[in-house]
């Protein structure tokens, strides 16, 4: 399709490409929504939702009607980091409707795709792919740690690996796993039943479970919402995507594969920035946060690279799934431990930013020097080699941000090769 997709963001490379991509999907531009003040002022309204992608449920998924057939990457988030979220209204299991705009009035929102037949959700890669961090246990740990500061929404939509003869939406082929015990839902009633039966018990009580629309005609609140898969079709067809949506309606992090530890890092960075009211202080704080962001982006890129190797194995050999011998409680504790270990580095950043705030209050013209940033790095667990690479990558990221004006969006082309070269240097 001629659209370069960033490895690190998983999104369309620029706002212009986003518009071109949107035109292909019958979108009509990216004007802001009707929010007042700072609340959701960048959000697109529900008229920008699209539905019935792949002509589902009228048509079945097939080789020529699949993600691989239409999109440059699998999976491909259709909304890029730094872009605007699209408002939606969806029901929960009790038919109570929830609107994204209203949720954002009180907290930022973390939107996570979670489907019952998805091996990533079920934790299939826990033993063979330790750095994955995208299981239901990791999701539970993330919600448990941050639910006081963020709303969490689990979107239940199109199942990736339904029971035969239904096909996988990624490949258009029949790909089944141990959880492929039911067929693809084609009515809202069936989708709600499957969500309640096979998914709800695996979610944290503070994790809101919303059902993507599938021909629900009985709720008046859904009259202006596309009938079939509006959120899944609009945000991107996938099985385990994740989006961090700020209260202003912007997308501050987009993950083609939900990755709990690096999502927690993005959330920590977002909270730190949100706590900085003065523009000069925000600019100074970015010198620390850019380095943390660089580390997070590299960690996510390494995960995707390793995951691709794991996924490629499925097409080359028969792999028998062996469930973890550990109990659910042990797996939840392990997930919480991974999360705490990763976000520990942000404690130093908070201390440094607090000190910076005091310095700027006492001497507003002081600012930060490179030596101050380097001193912060030396207090962490970063090697000299990684420190140097992180500074170079941070410079590249900063240059791209200033050129594209998008939050952390990386371009394609030769600079992607530069980032890949830096990643090879780290490995």
Percent over 90 (pLDDT), the chain: 48
The pLDDT tens digits for 67-114 are 999 998 888 899 999 999 999 999 999 999 999 999 999 999 999 999
Per-residue pLDDT band at 200 (split at 50, 70, 90): very high
Angle, to 10 degrees, between the axis of helix 414-426 and the axis of helix 384-404?
Answer: 160
Per-residue pLDDT band at 427 (split at 50, 70, 90): very low
Superfamily of domain 15-426: Glutaredoxin (3.40.30.10)
Which candidate, 341, 403, 401, 352, places its Cα nearest to that of 376?
352
Give CA separation, 304 vs 9, 133, 256, 300, in Å: 11, 11, 9, 6
The pLDDT tens digits for 202-223 are 999 999 999 999 998 889 999 9
Give the C-alpha separation, 2 to 18, whole Å.
Answer: 12
Give the C-alpha separation, 101 to 402, whole Å.
Answer: 29
The pLDDT tens digits for 26-61 are 333 333 343 334 678 889 999 999 999 999 999 999
Residue 353 has pLDDT above 80, yes or no: no
Give the C-alpha separation, 46 to 87, whole Å.
Answer: 5
Give the C-alpha separation, 212 to 51, whole Å.
Answer: 10
Q: Which of 187-191, 258-262, 360-364 has the lowest mean pLDDT?
A: 360-364
- Non-local CB neighbours of 308 within 8 Å, separated by 6+ positions: none
Give the C-alpha separation, 211 to 93, whole Å.
Answer: 7
Give the residue extent of every domain in the chain.
15-426
Give CA separation, 250 vs 41, 122, 277, 369, 386, in Å: 9, 29, 18, 30, 31
Local structure of residue 409 (DSSP, 8 states):
P
- Non-local CB neighbours of 269 within 8 Å, separated by 6+ positions: 289, 292, 293, 296, 346
Give the C-alpha separation, 60 to 33, whole Å.
Answer: 34
The answer to whether 183 and 159 have CB atoms below 8 angstroms apart is no
């Amino acid at each position: 399709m001629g659209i370069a997709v960033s490895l690190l963001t998983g999104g369309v490379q620029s706002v212009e490409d986003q518009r071109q991509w949107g035109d292909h999907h019958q979108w009509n531009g990216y004007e802001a929504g009707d929010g007042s003040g700072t609340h959701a002022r960048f959000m697109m309204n529900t008229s920008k939702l699209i539905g019935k992608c792949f002509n589902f449920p009228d048509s079945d998924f097939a080789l020529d009607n699949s993600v691989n057939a239409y999109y440059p990457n699998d999976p491909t988030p259709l909304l890029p980091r730094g872009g605007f979220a699209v408002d939606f209204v969806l029901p929960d299991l009790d038919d109570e409707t929830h609107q994204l705009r209203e949720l954002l009035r009180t907290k930022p929102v973390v939107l996570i795709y979670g489907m019952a037949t998805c091996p990533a959700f079920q934790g299939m890669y826990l033993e063979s792919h330790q750095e994955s961090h995208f299981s239901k246990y990791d999701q539970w740990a993330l919600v448990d740690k941050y639910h006081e500061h963020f709303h969490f929404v689990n979107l239940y939509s199109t199942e990736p690996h339904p029971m035969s003869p239904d096909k996988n939406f990624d490949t258009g082929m029949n790909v089944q796993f141990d959880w492929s015990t039911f067929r693809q839902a084609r009515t809202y009633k069936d989708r709600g039943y499957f969500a309640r039966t096979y998914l709800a018990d695996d979610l944290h009580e503070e994790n809101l479970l919303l059902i993507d629309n599938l021909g629900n005609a009985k709720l008046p609140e859904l009259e202006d919402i596309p009938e079939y898969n509006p959120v899944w079709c609009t945000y991107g067809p996938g099985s385990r995507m994740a989006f961090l949506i700020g209260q202003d309606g912007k997308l501050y992090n987009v993950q083609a594969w939900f990755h709990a530890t690096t999502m927690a890092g993005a959330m920590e960075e977002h909270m730190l920035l949100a706590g900085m009211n003065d523009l000069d202080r925000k600019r100074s704080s970015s010198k620390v946060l850019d380095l943390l962001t660089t580390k997070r982006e590299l960690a996510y890129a390494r995960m995707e690279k390793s995951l691709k190797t794991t996924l490629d194995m499925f097409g080359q050999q028969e792999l028998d799934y062996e469930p973890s011998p550990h109990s659910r409680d042990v797996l939840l504790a392990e997930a919480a431990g991974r999360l705490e270990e990763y976000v520990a580095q942000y404690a130093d950043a908070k201390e440094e930013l607090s000190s910076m705030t005091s310095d700027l209050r006492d001497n507003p013209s002081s600012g930060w020097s490179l030596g101050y940033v380097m001193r912060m790095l030396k207090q962490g667990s970063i090697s000299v080699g990684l420190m140097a690479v992180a500074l170079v990558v941070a410079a590249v990221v900063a240059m791209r941000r200033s050129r594209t004006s998008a939050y952390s969006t990386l371009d394609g082309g030769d600079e992607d090769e530069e980032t890949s070269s830096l990643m090879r240097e780290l490995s």
